[in-house]
A and B are shown apart, each in its own frame.
Chain A
Amino acid sequence: MISELEMEKAESELELGLGLSLGGGTAAKIGKPGGGGAWGERGRLLTAKDFPSVGSKRAADSASHAGASPPRSSQVVGWPPIGSHRMNSLAAKSAREEEGEAGKKKVKDDETKDVNKKVQVGFIKVNMDGVAIGRKVDLNAHSSYENLAQTLEDMFFRGNPGTIGLTGQFTKPLRLLDGSSEFVLTYEDKEGDWMLVGDVPWRMFITSVKRLRVMKTSEANGLAARHQESNERQRK
């Protein structure tokens, strides 16, 4: 568990996230090691899922354990206290700006190029066929497709009292990713195309996904070809 946290911490030092830096002289350059000014580095909005058995306070402790400075605003759950509606609006604006500037930026090496483009949008919408009301899921709280699929399964198929409009309980696991069940997981990318989830490396996926849809396999015929091709490719 600790090593996973440390790995994630190392990754987050290179990531662009919801950086609420307000200017001033503390903007860190990408790739700069260590914490630097608290504001230059953009961390990401974590959620309880990042730290399954610790609360946000202890998450901060773990972060300091791994050698970082005391809890930075960008690494703490639900901080700064800006309503999610507004956060998403700001992040979306940021994403639009990134897209606009993508053409102007020099192409750096692959890793940083990915990083440049990865302005996270935080929570994205997930809809499921036959369910009236969608949900939201925080992509950055997940590290892999399996992770994400598990969350979605919990969300839509393990209905707990009080969640509205969800289907009842299923006894067998869903396996959204391998095409063997009644549903498949699809996503809409930045260009507006609908694709099967799992075709591209995870990191690339989360930079290009706009929203998710749990679709009936019978309706996903148009996407089947891609799915078969992707069977050859390695999935992260």
Chain B
Amino acid sequence: MNYFPDEVIEHVFDFVTSHKDRHSISLVCKSWFKIERYSRQNVFIGNCYAINPERLLRRFPCFKSLTLKGKPHFADFNLVPHGWGGFVQPWIEALARSRVGLEELRLKRMVVTDESLELLSRSFVNFKSLVLVSCEGFSTDGLASIASNCRHLQDLDLQENEIDDHRGQWLSCFPETYTSLVTLNFACLEGETNLVALERLVARSPNLRSLKLNRAVPLDALARLMACAPQIVDLGVGSYEDEQDSESCLKLQAAIRKCTSLRSLSGFLEAAPHCLSAFHPVCHNLTSLNLSYAAEIHGSHLIKLIEHCKKLQRIGDKGLEVVASTCKELQELRVFPTDLQGGGNTAVTEDGLVAISAGCPKLHSILYFCQQMTNAALITVAKNCPNFIRFRLCILEPHKPDHVTSQPLDEGFGAIVQACKNLKRLSVSGLLTDQVFLYIGMYATELEMLSIAFAGDTDKGMLYVLNGCKKMRKLEIRDSPFGDAALLADVNKYETMRSLWMSSCEVTLGGCKRLARKAPWLNVEIINENDNNRMEENGYEGRQKVDKLYLYRTVVGTRVDAPPFVWIL
């Protein structure tokens, strides 16, 4: 390769897109490092505090796309207090000052402000794509800036964000001359939508492929929108009221029939399902169905819908046996508890999981909430589906054993990790002893992310995992009896991981301090929202248990934006 001019090598590198591979290339030699640096288009930063914008820009001066992740995963479940961190403002400011021609920004669990969005919209002429997932801190005013100023915007994708809806006219801020929209997802907005502006926008967007609406878009508006956008591939339905007006239904059905490219369906945020049949004509083409927010659709309608969906690859819903018998191509499944009223015939148990594993041989990713589980079921699932990459099982009641044998579920999960040689992500639940972690450490060689809650007996459990799982990147543990001995056994292990979260475990302040001393390249954060100063008082602090510990490797030292309730050791 040394005989090729740089441009040729660069051209070859263009075909290498995965971050891991790009990283590998950069390590081959100085020359490749340099070429790779200047040609890197997409940068992924899994922890915004592991590095800072200045160093990013020094290394990669020419990137076009940046992905940033902020808060730890357990922030999704309200375990991280408001104000902890993850602010995008310094990043946007730094990028704006530099000459980076940013085209895409993807943020997850970060704090975004209207000011940030305004600055973003004004600073990058070719900005094309904004994807915000689980972010907060901004309002529809920020969206208005994006709409007004980003002439070349293609994607505005807002997934499960907390957005203050000022009921303004952000949709009408897209100029009349603006026609480049490809993706528009505002399902998480809670306020009213300017339907006229929306229709006009869709009508002048011939490239629109993905449209996800919020609650405020009713059935008749949906029909008109579909009529304007028959080329749609991915649709999120907003409000799907039970219209007495069957003419609306018919209009919708007619419009939907023309959407022959439709492959993915989601939403139904407020749905009475009688018009669900309007979608039956396109079901046979669907490869993705996400009804996880469609709490109002009950069994029989759902079953009818699914029966039409022979090509389904991704699905999130109930009615599992129908899924198992119909959806042979299914690859991803998410089953959430949707029935808050406890209706008797909607129990989700191990039977559903076994049925799915038997009926859907291509299944590789599953998130499954259920009431009960058995070792036998898990062993069967492992035999049926050795291809799992992601296996997340949540038995709703902590510490619940095998409901038939009353044994811990160690053997069941052990079977899963033993059979699924490519398992990258695992969440365990139910009654579990140290034994399950012995299995995980022994067999889960590819495991990158592990979520543990209410499990284990002694430090040995955590040690099995730390010693065994060589590829571990993110470990998150709550309410489990692991303490200082496990935490401190192999400090260098944390350099190979992105982060460790431990809450309501047995680690003490003294232990955390020792860790911080041994590993200055780690940020060891203690989050203590209840009594800011208590941790510093009295001489017993060494033995005081830490409520929430979050540690992560970093090359830029202690962060400067931590709130008072975060103590960085």
Contacts and interface: CB of A to CB of B under 8 A. Distances in A.
Contacts of A119: 340
A27 B397 contact: no
Contacts of B547: 55
Interface string A20-44: 1111110100000000001110000
A53 B530 contact: yes
A162 B346 contact: no
Contact of B453 (A81, A91, A165): A81
B341 interface: yes
Per DSSP, chain A at the interface is loop
A48 B529 contact: yes
Nearest to B137: A164
B101 interface: no
- Residue from the set A47, A52, A81, A164 with the largest chain B CB neighbour count within 10 Å: A81
Contact of B160 (A24, A83, A91, A93): A83
B141 A21 contact: no
A4 to B, nearest CB: 15
Interface string A64-102: 000000111100111111111110011101100100000
Given A19-B342, A97-B341, A84 B76 contact: yes
Interface residues of A, number: 55
A163 interface: yes
A84 B78 contact: yes
Interface residues of B, number: 72
Contacts of A25: 344
Given A79-B77, A93-B340, 7 more contacts: A22-B348, A24-B372, A48-B81, A81-B427, A86-B336, A135-B82, A162-B561
A204 interface: no
B256 interface: no
Identify the 10 closest CB pairs spanning chains A and B, nearest first. A78-B77, A21-B342, A57-B504, A23-B347, A93-B295, A94-B340, A24-B347, A55-B547, A85-B160, A55-B504
Interface string A199-222: 000000000000000000000000
B245 interface: no
A80 B340 contact: no
Contacts, number: 172
B6 interface: no
Given A78-B74, A79-B398, A160-B83, A23 B342 contact: yes
A61 B292 CA distance: 33
B371 interface: yes
A81 B392 CA distance: 11
Contacts of A86: 160, 292-293, 336
B114 interface: yes
Interface string B347-372: 11100000000000000000001111
B134 interface: yes
- Residue from the set A19, A78, A82, A134 with the largest chain B CB neighbour count within 10 Å: A78
A38 B423 CA distance: 32
B539 interface: no
Contact of A56 (B339, B451, B504): B504
A16 B116 CA distance: 41
B399 interface: yes
Contacts of B341: 19, 94, 97
Contacts of B164: 127, 132-134
A165 B160 CA distance: 21
Interface string B532-569: 00000000000001011000000000000111110000
B218 to A, nearest CB: 16
A39 B81 CA distance: 28
A89 B293 contact: yes
A161 interface: yes
B85 interface: yes
B396 interface: yes
Contacts of B400: 38
Interface string B328-342: 000000001111111
Given A22-B347, A38-B397, A133-B138, A80 B295 contact: no
